[in-house]
Structure 1
Amino acid sequence: MARQYETVIGLEVHVELATKTKIFCSCSTEFGGAPNTHTCPVCTGMPGSLPVLNRQVVDYALAIGLAANCEITRYCKFDRKNYFYPDNPQNYQISQLYLPIARNGYVEIQVGDTKKKVRIHEMHMEEDAGKLIHDEWDDTSLVDYNRSGVPLVEIVSEPDMRSPEEVIAYLEKLRLLIQYLGASDCKLQEGSMRADVNLSVREVGKEGFGTRTEMKNLNSFKAIARAIEGERERQIELLEAGKEVVQETRRWDDNKEASHAMRSKEDAKDYRYFPEPDLPPVFIDDAWIESVRERQPEFREEKIKRYQEEFGIPQYDAEILTETKQMADLFEKTTKLCGKPKKVSNWLMVETLRLLKDHGESPEDIRFSPEHLSKLILLAEDGAINNSVAKKVFRKMFEEDIDPEIYVEEQGLRMVRDDGALTQVLEQVIAENPQAVADYKGGKKKAIGSLVGQTMKAMKGKADPSAVSRKLEEMLK
C-alpha cells in the first residue's frame, strides 16, 4: 500500500511598514526613486554613524501584535545579526532575537467550512536590506540601497498549516489586518509583503517533523501555492526513492515552476547574534499599549456584521465590500454622502468590479472619489439621467475621475423633461414604423420594443425608456 504523506508548513512573513522615514534614520521610505537617492550615512553603514529608533515603527508593530492576539514584550531589545552580503552595507542587520516585541499570538482562518487557529510564534522589528540588481547582459550585479533601513516586522508562525489553501487564507487574513490598521499597503508585487515558506513532509500519523526547507522569492499568492505543491512533490519523491531531504534555502522560479538550492540553511549560531550596542532597550508600559489599542480600527468581521445590521446589505455583498480596506472605505464614505447604501453597494459590486476585471486592476487601483460616485448615484436617483447614460458616465468616471454633474451638463446628457417634445418624437416614430405599429396592434406586444428603441435613438438616449414605453402604449390605444 502506498504511503500517505502530510505537508507541514510554517511561514516567515516580512512586512514593510508604512512610515514616511526609515527605522533608524530620516531617509524616505517611498517606493521607487532613482537608485541610491534615499540614502544617508546611517542606512549605508558608514563608520561612526549611529541609529535612532523611529517611534512610529514601534506603534505599528504594537498595533499588529495586538490585532494578532500576541503577548507584548514590555522590555524588548535589538540585536545584531551578522552576515556578509553585498546588499547589507553594515555587514550586520539590526533585528530582534532574544526579546522580540510580540510573542505567542494567533489568527483564525477559515477554509471552506473549517475554522482553525494558526499560532504565531513571535513577531520582531528589523531593518530591510538593500536590493541587488543582476544585469545578465553585462554579467554584473549592482546594488541599490534605497530599501536598506526600511522598517520591517517579521511574523513567524508555528508549523500549523497543512495545505496551500490554509497558507493563502493565513496570508490574506494577515494582509487584511495590517491594511485595516494602515500599518502597510502589503503589496506583494512591490515587495512590501514577502513570505518565506518553511515546508516538510511526514507520513500521515507520525508525530515528529521531517527535514524542512525554506523557499524564497515568492511575490504572489499564486506563486506561493505553486511553490508549496512543487516542493511537496520534490520531497516526497526523494523519500520514496530512499533519499534524504537536505535542510537548505531554496529559490523558487515561478516561470520554470521549479526550485533550486541557494545555500545550506543557517541556524541562529551562524549569525553570531549579540545585543545591539548602539540602541537602548525599549520599555513599553500599559499606557502606551492602551493608547495603541484605543486607536485600533473596526476590522473586517465587525464591518460585515454592521453592514448587515445597519445598512441591510446581504452577507455575501458585505464580504465582498470588506475584502479590501479601499473598497470598504469607498463604500462607507459614499454612503455617508448620499445616504443610499444599497445603491452604493450595487455600483461597487457590479459596475466597479466588472471594470476592474476588464482592466486587470484591483480595488487599490480605483481612481474615482466617493464625492463623484455619490453625485452620479443622486443624478440617477433624481431622474436627471437614465440608467444607460449613468453607466456611460460611470465608465468615464472610472477611467478619469471626472465630476459627473459637470460632464452630464457639458455633454448634454440630462434627460428631456418636456412632455411636448417627447410626444412630437413619438408621433414621428409611429408614422415612420407602420409595420411595428400594425404588429403591436395585432397582438405582438414585443413589437413595442422596436418603437422604444427608435424613440431613444431619436432622443439620443436622453429619455426614460419606461416612460417612453408607457407613453407609446397610451398613444397606440
Structure 2
Amino acid sequence: MSTTASVAPELLAKYEPVIGLEVHVQLLTQTKAFCGCSNKFGAPPNTLVCPVCLGLPGALPVLNKRAVEFAVLAARALNCEIRERSIFARKNYFYPDLPKGYQISQFDKPIAEHGWIDVDTPNGEKRIGITRLHMEEDAGKSIHDGFPDSATRTYVDLNRCGTPLIEIVSEPDIRTPDEAYEYLTKLKEILLYTGVSDCNMEEGSLRCDANVSVRPRGQEKFGTKAEVKNVNSFRFIRAALEYEIERQVEVIEGGGRVVQETRLWNANEGRTYSMRSKEQAHDYRYFPEPDLPPLIVTADKQAAILQDMPELPEARRKRMISEYEITAQDAQTLTATRAFADQFEAAAKAAKSPKRVANLVQSELTMRLKAANLELEQSPITMKGIAQAADLAEEGKLSSKQLKQLFDTAFERNEDFGIVYEREKPQQISDPAAIEKLIDEVIAGNPKQVEQYRAGKKTVAAFFVGQVMKLSKGQANPSLLNELVAKKLDA
C-alpha cells in the first residue's frame, strides 16, 4: 500500500493531528423512517420504494416509533443527554440518489447531545466526547462503474432511501489513528449490545466519515480540515487517517495550504483523492421540516424505553470479574458479543467451576478458533459443551491430555464436545491401587533412574510420571499420579 512516505518522522512529530468522526448507523427496524416500506438489505434495485421515500408530490412522512426508541437506547448507552423536545429539519442538497432534493435530518435541536466513550490508550484511559446524536433518513445508493479511474456510468438504487439512521458526531478529541480505531471499536460494541443495529459495514449499516486536520504542537487553533469518506472498515479508517496526516504535513512543510475539502479513500492504492470542496452548514439551507411536528419524548417515555436497556459491556466485564473470579482478559474475551456473554453466564451458573469454564474458553477454545479462522459464534463447541468439559475435568474424570484430544476431535469433525465425549468416552484412572501397580511396573523397569532420584536428582520424578502416563494411554489421574510417584520413590 503506497502512502506519501516522504515525510520524515521528526517533521511529523512537529504536528498534532486533530480528528473528529461522524458515524452513520442504520437502525434495525422492520420498516423505514417515515413510511411502511421494508427496511432490509439485498432486495433487487428500486423494489422497496413508495411515494414517500421517492419524494412524490403530496406524499407525507410519518415517523417510525421504533426508530425513536432505538435512538433513545443508543443515546443513553453513549452517556448522552436526551432532549424531551427535538426538531426535524430539511437538509437541502442535490444528488441523483436523493429524489426529494433534501434529507430529513435534525440540526440545531437533535434528540441527544453531550455524551462520551472511554477508550484505552498507551497513556491510560481517555474520554472521547460525543457532540451530538441525531436522527435522520438515509439517501439512496449510487454505484459508479470503474471508480475512480474511468467512471463512465452511474446507477442509482433507491431502496435505501428513507432507511432510519442515527448520526453520532464525536468531539475533535481524537489525536491519533489508533485512538480513532479504539473509539470506533468501542462504539460498535456498545451499539451491538443495545441491539439497535447490526453494524454490518459490508452492507453499509455502519459508515464513518473522518474529519482530520493538523496543527503545530502547542497551538490551540485548529488547522484546516479535510473530510475522508468512502471507508468501509476500521482498519482502512486507521490507514486513511495515517495517509491524510502525512499528506497534510507534507503540504504545509512544502509551503502550501491545506484546502477544506471532501476526499475519498482508495483502499487499493492506499491513498485519498480530492472529491469536492467541503460544504459549510449554511450551504445546506436547513429549516424546520414543515410536515413533521416536534418530536416529544418525555421523561416518563424515556424511562419506559430504557427498561429494555441491557447491561452494557464495560459494566458486565467488571461484574463478571468479581462474580466469577476471572481475569480481565477472560472477561474481555467472554463479552466479545452479547450473545456469547449470555451463553457463558448460563454455562457458568450451571457448571461446578465458572473459573474453569472461563479458562477452557481462553486456553482451549480461542486458540483453535484462531487456527481455524472462525469467530466465537461459529465454534463447533457450544458453551454447553464447554461447561460439560469443565465439570468432567473438575471431577477428575478427564485429564488435560484427554480433554485436549476431545477438543481436537470436535473441531476436526465439526461436532459439539458432548457428542464426541459420548461416542469416545475416555475414562480417567483414579483408583490408587491401579495407578500404584503401573508405577511399580515402571520403577522395576528403570533401576538407573531410580538410583538418580535417590541420589538427589528429584527432577527424575517427571520421567516416571511420563512413563506411567504412556503406559496408561493418558488415562491416569495426573494429580494422583504425581503424588503416588513421589511417595513410591521416597519409600
Using structure 1 for the length normalisation, give the TM-score.
0.85
Provide the rounded CA distance (Å) in 2 between the counterparts of 1:53 and 1:7: 39
Q: CA deviation at 1:344?
A: 1.6
Residue among 28, 39, 42 paired with 2:48: 39
Q: CA deviation at 1:435?
A: 10
Q: CA deviation at 1:346?
A: 0.5
Provide the residue aligned with 2:6 in structure 1. Answer: none
Provide the rounded CA distance (Å) in 2 between the counterparts of 1:363 and 1:38: 35
3-state secondary structure, aligned to 2:129: strand
- More divergent stretch after superposition (295-304 vs 204-213): 295-304
- 1:189-237 CA-to-partner distances (Å, cap 9, x unmatched) read 4432222110111122323221110001222222222211211111111
Matched, 1:186 2:196: no
**What code does the residue aligned with 2:110 have?**
P
- More divergent stretch after superposition (160-169 vs 21-30): 21-30
Provide the residue aligned with 1:19 in structure 2. Answer: 29
Residue among 413, 425, 445 paired with 1:413: 425
Provide the rounded CA distance (Å) in 1 between the counterparts of 2:413 and 2:64: 38
Provide the rounded CA distance (Å) in 2 between the counterparts of 1:144 and 1:351: 46
Q: 1:36 to 1:416 in 2, by over 3 A?
A: same
Residue among 142, 149, 169 paired with 1:132: 142
Provide the rounded CA distance (Å) in 1 between the counterparts of 2:378 and 2:328: 25
Q: 1:68 to 1:445 in 2, by over 3 A?
A: closer
Provide the rounded CA distance (Å) in 2 between the counterparts of 1:420 and 1:469: 11
Provide the residue aligned with 1:5 in structure 2. Answer: 15
Provide the residue aligned with 2:87 in structure 1. Answer: 77
- 1:84-130 CA-to-partner distances (Å, cap 9, x unmatched) read 33433444322212321112223333313444432222111112233
- More divergent stretch after superposition (354-363 vs 121-130): 354-363
Question: Is contact 1:372-1:402 (8 Å) kept?
Answer: no
Provide the residue aligned with 1:94 in structure 2. Answer: 104
Q: For structure 2, list consecutive stretches of 5 or more residues without a partner in the other structure.
A: 1-9, 453-459
Residue among 314, 325, 332 paired with 1:301: 314
Matched, 1:283 2:299: no
Q: CA deviation at 1:424?
A: 13
Provide the rounded CA distance (Å) in 2 between the counterparts of 1:273 and 1:74: 21
Q: 1:218 to 1:314 in 2, by over 3 A?
A: same
User: Map of 1:293-442 to 2, 5 A cutoff?
Assistant: 293-363=306-376, 365-366=378-379, 368-395=381-408, 397=410, 402-410=415-423, 412-415=424-427, 437-442=446-451
Provide the residue aligned with 2:468 in structure 1. Answer: 452
Residue among 68, 71, 75 paired with 1:61: 71
Q: 1:466 to 1:205 in 2, by over 3 A?
A: closer
**What code does the residue aligned with 2:45 have?**
N
Residue among 197, 202, 216 paired with 2:215: 202
Using structure 2 for the length normalisation, give the TM-score.
0.82
CA RMSD between the two structures: 3.6
3-state secondary structure, aligned to 2:209: strand
**What code does the residue aligned with 1:280 have?**
P
Provide the rounded CA distance (Å) in 2 between the counterparts of 1:5 and 1:473: 65
Matched, 1:211 2:211: no
Question: Is contact 2:20-2:171 (8 Å) kept?
Answer: yes
Number of aligned pairs? Answer: 469
Provide the residue aligned with 2:455 in structure 1. Answer: none
**Percent same amino acid among aligned pairs?**
42
**What code does the residue aligned with 1:83 have?**
Y
Matched, 1:240 2:253: yes
Matched, 1:158 2:168: no
Residue among 253, 257, 261 paired with 2:270: 257
Provide the residue aligned with 1:267 in structure 2. Answer: 280
Q: CA deviation at 1:62?
A: 0.9
Provide the rounded CA distance (Å) in 1 between the counterparts of 2:144 and 2:290: 34
Provide the rounded CA distance (Å) in 2 between the counterparts of 1:472 and 1:117: 56
**What code does the residue aligned with 1:162 have?**
R
Provide the residue aligned with 2:115 in structure 1. Answer: 105
- More divergent stretch after superposition (240-249 vs 204-213): 204-213
3-state secondary structure, aligned to 1:349: helix
Q: CA deviation at 1:320?
A: 4.1
Residue among 55, 62, 73 paired with 1:52: 62
